[in-house]
Amino acid sequence: MTSETEFAIRASGLTKNFGNLIAVDHLDLDVPKALVYGFLGPNGSGKTTAIRLLCGLLTPTEGSATVLGHEVPGDASQLKPKIGYMTQKFSLYGDLTIQENLEFIADVYSYPRRDRRARVEDLIERYNLDQQRNQFAGTMSGGQKQRLALACAVLNRPKLLLLDEPTSAVDPKSRRDFWEKLFALANEGTTILVSTHYMDEAERCHRLAILDHGKKVADGAPAELQAATGMSVVEIATDDTAAVQFELKKLPEIRSITQLGVRLRALIPDSRKNPVAFIESHLSSLALNGKVMQVEASLEDVFVAVTQDDEKLDTAA
């Protein structure tokens, strides 16, 4: 299998500067076809800029990218008919109905007139919009707007669908329903690149890259990333979370500590052997009580581990 048939997206050293700001910093990327690939990162991490580079809307400062076999931005005009793009902010026409929005997008894509009516009807049914077909888009709920935006983004049957934080303004049920639609598209052969800052969404992706200050700091399947944090994750159940957290924060071996209800969750580099015994011994020396156990890393633990600075990594074993 050649790289052209195996990957929908390949990028090498992709960089974008805005003056002195490096928005995307030497991004290397291989996105296999027909799966959901995620960009995980906080606001300002370069997710949106990377997507705009990959669809040819921005010219890179350095590096190169091939998307669906087309060099970008050079072959952007040939690429654009093959992609769908859904932005974070609802960008359709609020004073048009659902059906009118879909028909207008069909005009934009020059969708064949003989097939247009059937395609619009199929999308209205598939995305559960039949009851609202004559409703003005500006009056719809967040979940309804999201479904309409997705229907418009896939109207031209794109081979690649780019989604920029598409569920930031919808409730959890609408988000779950939306992801069911994405997996159905992937099963039909569409490659999906989705940016998000939600950990639960990132866990749904087949693979994902974690971006921080424009750099890719991790890349792989969620389970692979969770197994390769380089950190032991220790939970401490205690009645005195404030005092225990205060004391543990002083330790250079503690990379991060956060509170989850009556539990504390600490990241400790693997160089520190026997992390449970280490924490238990330290709490005992301070006459503090707590039940300590080692647990599996979550994707949030991975994110914290790869995006924080390294000042606490050099610890004694």
Give the tens place of pLDDT for each residue, 205-217.
999 999 999 999 9
Give the tens place of pLDDT for each residue, 163-208.
988 887 678 888 888 899 999 999 999 999 999 988 888 999 999 9
Q: Could you tell me the sign of the dihedral formed by the alpha carbons of 253, 256, 260, 261, in that order?
A: positive
φ/ψ of 75, rounded to 5, equals -105, 25
- pLDDT value at position 309? 53
Q: Could you tell me the sign of the dihedral formed by the alpha carbons of 135, 139, 141, 145, in that order?
A: positive
Mean pLDDT (the chain) is 91
Same fold, 3-226 and 229-307: no
**What pTM was computed for the model?**
0.87
Does residue 267 sit in helix, strand or coil? Answer: strand
Model confidence at 317: pLDDT above 50: no
Model confidence at 266: pLDDT above 90: yes
Give the tens place of pLDDT for each residue, 65-110.
999 999 999 999 999 999 999 987 777 888 999 999 999 999 988 8
- pLDDT value at position 4? 56
- pLDDT value at position 3? 53
- Which stretches of 2-85 are DSSP H helices? 3-6, 47-54, 76-79
Domain boundaries, the chain: 3-226, 229-307
Give the tens place of pLDDT for each residue, 115-130.
999 999 999 999 999 9
Strands of the sheet containing 70-72, edge to edge, are 21-32, 7-18, 62-67, 70-72
At the top level of CATH, the class of 229-307 is alpha beta
Model confidence at 59: pLDDT above 90: yes
Of residues 252 and 316, more confidence is placed in: 252
Separation between Cα atoms, residue 101 and residue 275, nearest integer Å: 58
- pLDDT value at position 90? 74
Q: What percent of the chain clears pLDDT 90, i.e. is strictly above it?
A: 77
Least confidently predicted of 26-30, 43-47, 86-90, 245-249: 86-90
Is the domain covering 3-226 a CATH 3.90.850.10 domain?
no
In the chain, which ranges are E strands? 7-18, 21-32, 36-40, 62-67, 70-72, 83-86, 160-164, 191-196, 207-212, 215-220, 231-237, 256-260, 263-269, 291-295
